[in-house]
Amino acid sequence: MLIDNPSIGTVDIDPHKIIHFPKGLVGMPDCKDWALLAPIDGSYFHWLQSVDRPELMFVVTEPSRFAPDYHVDLSPNTIQDVGLEKLEDATLLVIVNQEGQFLTGNLQGPLLINVARYTGCQLVLPRQQYNTRHVLMELRHNQQSLAA
C-alpha cells in the first residue's frame, strides 16, 4: 500500500502491519490506522505514519531509552482493549516534539501497542505522574531538527 506523505514522499506500507487504534489518538478519533516506519538513520526514533490522513506523521520513540524509571500500570480494561495476552507483546512509545533546542516526549500520553495483533491505544496517565513535555535530550548545534 502506497501512502503519499507531503513531507517525506511516497511510503510503501505493508497492509498486514498496520496498527489499528480503535479509538484513534487523543484529539484525532478518526485516525485509527497507523504504520510504524523504520528508525530514522538507524536512531532510536521511528515515524508513526497515519494511513487515514497521509499528511499526518509523528516521531515516536521508546520512553525507556530516555527515562529508565518510566513505568505504566495497565488496567484490565486496557489490556483487553488491545487484546494483550502476553506482556512480551506490549511495547510503549511516546510522541516526540522539538521544543527549542530540546526533544521532548509525551510521557503522560504513551501509545500502547500489541505487536502480536497490531492493535493499540493511547493512554492518558494522571497529570501528577508524568508530563507531556519530558525532556529526552538536548540537540547540538549541528543536529537537524525534526521539522521536515
Q: What is the pLDDT of residues 96-145, one digit of tens each?
A: 999 899 999 999 999 999 999 999 999 999 877 788 988 888 888 655 55
* Helices assigned H by DSSP within the chain: 76-81
> What values do phi and psi take at 74, rounded to 5?
-100, 130
pTM: predicted TM-score of the whole model, two decimal places = 0.88
Does the domain at 2-138 match CATH 2.30.290.10? Answer given as yes
